[in-house]
Amino acid sequence: MSDRESMEFDVLIVGAGPAGLAAAIRLKQVSPDSTVCVVEKGSEVGAHILSGAVLEPRALDELIPDWRDDPPALATPAGEDSFLYLTETKAYKLPTPPQMHNHGNYIVSLGNVCRWLGAKAEALGVEIYPGFAASETIIEDGQVRGVVAGVMGITKEGEEGPNYQPGMELRATYTLFAEGCRGSLTKKLAERYNLREGAQPQTYGLGIKELWEIPKEKHTAGKVWHSVGWPLKSDTYGGAWLYMFGENLVSIGFVVGLDYPNTWLSPFDEFQRFKTHPEVRKMLEGGKRVAYGARALNEGGFQSIPKLVFPGGALIGDTAGFLNVPKIKGTHTAMKSGMLAAEAIAAALAGGEPPAVLESYPAALKASWVWPELEGVRNIRPGFAKWGLWGGMLNAAAETYLFRGKAPWTLAHHADHSATKPAGQCPKIVYPKPDGVLTFDRLSSVFLSNTNHEEDQPAHLKLRDPDLWKPVNWDQYRAPESRYCPAGVYEAVGVEEGQPRLVINAQNCVHCKTCDIKDPRQNIDWCTPEGAGGPNYIGGM
């Protein structure tokens, strides 16, 4: 558009998460004269970063070897590991799988890690623009040339409002997309450049997290606690974590694989129910919940990694899917992917050649420690999808101890939405009412995420075909979006009157992307909202 200003850079990075910031830092380390810009849709660096994180520092040690001399706030060395199987009233300690051993790791606020990395990047000369949502990719002559960011003031009717700002064209020789799980621009790039050709379908989990302050006498700094089993049935993949860090902080969370079959299941309510287990209750009693958030995560692993490069750019971090699911960690692999992409770009810029496909980046990734790490655990997550909890655990043991990651086969994934069964084929689940002390409702939870969207902006949650909702989502599945959304965005109203219709409360959205993944007909499209909208997670998240 003619009314847009334009800025030119050598490298543009979309997303100020661990991968994007690691890429920016590495670029300035190896190519100090290059111009590097990072755009971030959150109101500040770290505002949209959610993780109950135990950080493996391998990539950070390579990027900033002396980081322990000036660590991020709240970084706590990991201590005692526990892995338990829960029944409704009992907890049975299991051997901790080797991938889950955490000696040498750190419990961190990943948001604080990103704020810390952002400061390091800016000190090197990286330009970081928070509150700039990248809403469109600039493609010219088949090549990515940058993004349009910072568009504001479009009304719900799609017109230019009184506060309209046309945004800015941020152009670059190379553009790295580090949008995190289910990136909105990455989705379109995958279609445009056929990036998923030859890859298994990506599969996802929904992680829901709370931050608690507990009495100091109950707090053991460095405690790492994981569980499987109750309250989930054996046909549903998932588990829980509880990490103690700082002086009295507890990160507690719950992950449910989005390939669960029962349309009546509510991941949010399963998490609330989990906290009532006697072993969990005794750790939280006397404490106070201070923050809440939710985020989808890529669980497909090795066989779901797409093509990583296209003319003028590349995918890095969790937008490509480098999470090590059995290890429950992906920050180290995400950062390493960003570092390797940065090195490939620096070499290309030094060569002075016209922009081309960065084939040296995927080659370097395959030669790095990331590739064998993910390849070695590739069959563990799909084993749970194929055989359930007990068969999955047996398969995981065989993959780990018998085949040692070198089984002569690779198990396949299926798209999560295809696993959902119609309502008539599923037993209903009745969840207890929240007590407001240990368990809570969605709206009070969203309040603690500090989520905000300007009310006059267009809804960023759209139905591709509104006419599908009644015959499919309601008649067949009884509005599963009203249960799988952890923020109360979707409501089926008019049910008692016999005229059900869908109401979308887009202002509640915490940007978890679950609706974009789990809708039975893939009819919900999560689009980029205006910059700075969404959650504003506090420093402990």
Active site members = 51, 295, 331, 485, 509, 512, 515
Task: Look at residues 140, 84, 506 and name the one whose alpha carbon lies nearest to residue 311.
Answer: 140
Length of the chain: 541
- Say whether 258 sits in a helix, a strand or coil: coil
- The DSSP letter of residue 438 is S
Q: Which long-range contacts (CB under 8 A, 24 or more apart) does 134-142 make?
A: 134/14, 134/39, 134/41, 134/170, 134/185, 134/528, 135/167, 135/527, 135/528, 136/185, 137/175, 137/185, 137/188, 137/189, 138/169, 138/171, 139/192, 142/311
Backbone angles phi, psi at 229, to 5 degrees: 95, -140
Backbone angles phi, psi at 294, to 5 degrees: -155, 150
Task: Look at residues 182, 419, 198, 197 and name the one whose alpha carbon lies nearest to residue 321.
Answer: 182
DSSP letters spanning 511-540: ---HHHHH-TTS-EEE---STT-B----TT
Alpha-carbon distance 72 to 84, whole Å? 30
Task: Enter the tokens of residue 428.
Answer: 């209903």
Output the furthest CA–CA distance in the chain (Å, rounded). Answer: 69
197, 34 contact by CB (below 8 A): no
